[in-house]
A and B are shown apart, each in its own frame.
Chain A
Amino acid sequence: MNRWNLPDLGIGVGLRTVHFGHILSRRPAVDWFEVLSENFMDTGGHPLWVLDQVAERYPIALHGVSMSIGSTDPLDREYLRKLKALAARTRAHWVSDHLCWTGVAGRNVHDLLPMPYNEEALRHTAARVRQVSEILERPLVLENPSSYVEFASSTLTEWEFLSRLGQEADCGLLLDVNNVYVSSFNHGFDPRVYIDSVPADRVVQYHVAGHTNKGTHILDSHSDHAVAEVWELFRRSCRRTGNVSTLYEWDEDIPDFDVLHAEALKARAYREEPARPPARVARGA
């Protein structure tokens, strides 16, 4: 169990527009939905109406892409106010975003841009995480990004940075095992070391996803089934954390809902088996 006692919601999928009709009419037996915060913060139309229906029936966690927690621009207070309101509206179990920055000088490039991992970036990010947690009145959960660039000024590994950030800002971790795999390929580290090093008691959610191998690098495309190596990393991590809410991400070439859900349910085979009572020995055996 994580240090905040945030529940294991089971195995969920992302709420995507193409599945709205299916979800409302079929009410599939999904454990929970992850909702992209920015898609619902500025609409009063159909998406918000659907979200309200879904939140009535399923547990929800919010996942954002524009908090820009690592940016050197000031925090966007209006964004945080709307995020907090959406979390209250959906009774979200937690609110997550990414360890990244998305723009400076008032711009947003709408990408999860990488951070240098050094003491300056750590101090800067930790201070902002504390501010956000205070505003949201809940611990912020941050996802490890996939990245294609390493900075010469980095003095810490990503897993060291995340561990230190957790200590200094008391934030949770959304551990994306596909991102670990992608970055390990792109940067040439052992993903098992990463998995074994992150603080297990801060992991409140997993992401599993597919990617695209371009030969020279891997793109985190969320466009396919997850490869066996990613599932094995997931199994390895579950052994450390126990069962934690798990979500399958599929954002490009999104398949029918049942295909997506079936892919997500593969996680069952890799999660920790529930503790079993010791087997009884038959008398006389």
Chain B
Amino acid sequence: MALEAPLSRVQRWMQEVVVHPGSIDEALASKAARAEVPPERLGDVVLPSRTLAPAQRVEIYQRMYLLRMEEALGIDYPALARFLGPRGFRDLVRDYVASFPSRSYTLNRLGDHLPAFVLAAGGLRHRGFCHDLARLELAMTEVFDETETPSLSAEAVAAVPAEAWAAARLRPIAAFRLLALRYPANAYVQSIRGRGHRHPRPRRQDGWLAVYRRNYSVRRLELSLPAYRLLSELVAGAPLGPAVAAAARRRPGSGAGPTQLYRWFRAWMAKGLFMGLEGLEPSTNRL
């Protein structure tokens, strides 16, 4: 006899069973599932087929759930998946989606909390390295999907009077992220993209990185610490004059002199990292 249950209850029950990470018997007997449908009433909710019992039919959906989550996160985190290996990554995905299930119509945002989850994950070997890998790969997917914004043109830069530069604020393109890393995550990401590259060991090694998009391609630019600090201040909205002066003061004679600063800016402009200048006088702001 069919169980008299409203649609909402049937759906709550089925979802609890489908997302359960254990066996189908464990899923059907879980507290959340039992609250909706007692396991002994399963046959009153789901019919058997010629070849499968009700539990086996529901199990088809349950098995596919974690595979789908693993596939989606594997696309966004290929380096982390490679480092952890199939079993390690599968375990991480199982635990992660139990804490951070998808609440969006798109799987693109499923992995947004993975770096923080990895950092807090007890028992994960090389946790710091995994955290940096996850941070870098999340930055890459964010940059991939960001809104396209035009970069500042050479003509626009040339039109700014020399005296206006000190007060100018550089606005980065939307598809831009800065990262300070404690492990060689960038080298690891690079190593899985080419053949014959050796994977770096997950040892402490500070590094600084800009992740940006140019011509719809995600790129990574390694930075020195002084360059990273200066870019960080500019991105935070500091006027160019004080930011440059602070960079020169921080380590006098060690890489942030006028020549080096000029090289950095030339490279950053060439890579199209900035989309606009703010804080200019009205007469010079029509770029």
Contacts and interface: CB of A to CB of B under 8 A. Distances in A.
Contacts, number: 134
A148 B57 CA distance: 6
A87 to B, nearest CB: 15
A113 B18 contact: yes
Given A66-B106, A109-B19, A153 B60 contact: no
Interface residues of A, number: 44
Contact of B144 (A41, A46, A186, A215): A46
A41 B268 CA distance: 30
B43 interface: yes
Contacts of A49: 148, 216
Q: Which of B45, B105, B145, B217 has the most CB of A within 10 A?
A: B105
A121 interface: yes
A215 B58 CA distance: 17
A217 B49 contact: yes
Interface string B1-38: 11111111011101100110000000000000000000
A42 B45 contact: no
B101 A72 contact: no
Interface in B73-95: none
A150 interface: yes
Interface string B121-132: 000000000000
Q: Which of B68, B106, B216 has the most CB of A within 10 A?
A: B106
B12 A104 contact: yes
Interface in B151-184: 174-175
B18 A111 contact: yes
Interface in A91-145: 101, 103-111, 113, 116, 120-121, 124
Contacts of B102: 103, 107-110
Given A45-B216, A150-B47, A152-B47, A104 B57 contact: no
B107 interface: yes
Interface residues of B, number: 55
Contact of B65 (A76, A109, A148, A152): A109
Nearest to A124: B7
A44 B147 contact: yes
B195 interface: no
A79 B103 CA distance: 12
A39 B1 CA distance: 42
Nearest to B52: A216
Nearest to B110: A110
B213 interface: yes
A121 B108 CA distance: 30
Contact of B105 (A38, A43, A72, A116): A38
Contact of A107 (B61, B103, B144, B175): B103
B61 A106 contact: no
A219 B145 CA distance: 32
Contacts of A72: 7-8, 11
B104 A108 contact: yes
B193 interface: no
B64 interface: yes
B50 interface: yes
Nearest to A41: B106
A151 B50 contact: no
A43 B47 contact: no
Given A41-B106, A107-B103, A109-B65, A153 B15 contact: no
B44 A44 contact: no
Contacts of A38: 105-107
A217 B51 contact: yes
A46 B217 CA distance: 8
B14 A113 contact: yes
Contacts of B105: 38, 41, 66-67, 76, 79, 108
A255 B199 CA distance: 31
B70 to A, nearest CB: 12
A104 B106 contact: no
A155 to B, nearest CB: 9
Contacts of A188: 49-50
A45 B61 contact: no
Contacts of A215: 51
26 contacts: A44-B148, A45-B213, A46-B216, A49-B148, A67-B105, A71-B11, A72-B7, A76-B105, A103-B102, A106-B103, A107-B101, A107-B103, A108-B105, A109-B19, A109-B102, A111-B65, A113-B61, A120-B7, A124-B7, A148-B60, A149-B54, A150-B47, A151-B46, A151-B47, A153-B45, A217-B51
Given A44-B147, A188-B49, 19 more contacts: A38-B107, A45-B146, A45-B148, A45-B216, A46-B217, A104-B15, A105-B12, A107-B102, A109-B65, A109-B101, A111-B18, A111-B68, A113-B14, A149-B46, A150-B47, A151-B45, A152-B2, A152-B44, A217-B57
Interface of B: 1-8, 10-12, 14-15, 18-19, 43-47, 49-52, 54, 56-58, 60-61, 64-65, 68-69, 72, 101-109, 143-148, 174-175, 213, 216-217
